[in-house]
Amino acid sequence: MKTEVEAPLISRSADIMSGAPVFAGTRVPVQTLIDYLAGGHPLEEFLDDFPSVGREQAVELLRRVGEMLADARL
In this predicted model, what pLDDT tens digit does every residue of 50-67 receive, in sequence order?
Answer: 999 999 999 999 999 999
Q: Is 38 within a domain?
A: yes
Full domain range(s) for residue 45: 18-71
- Nearest-angstrom CA–CA distance, 67 and 61: 10
Would you give the DSSP letter of residue 53?
S
In this predicted model, what pLDDT tens digit does every residue of 9-33 receive, in sequence order?
Answer: 999 999 999 999 999 999 999 999 9
Q: What is the CATH number of the domain that holds 53?
A: 1.10.10.10
Read off φ and ψ for residue 34, nearest 5 degrees. Answer: -60, -45
- Domain count along the chain: 1
- Nearest-angstrom CA–CA distance, 4 and 40: 36
Cβ-contact 53, 26 below 8 angstroms:
yes
Mean pLDDT of 2-13: 75
**Rounded to two decimals, what is the model's pTM?**
0.84
Q: Is 59 within a domain?
A: yes
Would you give the DSSP letter of residue 27?
S
Cβ-contact 64, 56 below 8 angstroms:
no
Q: Is 39 within a domain?
A: yes
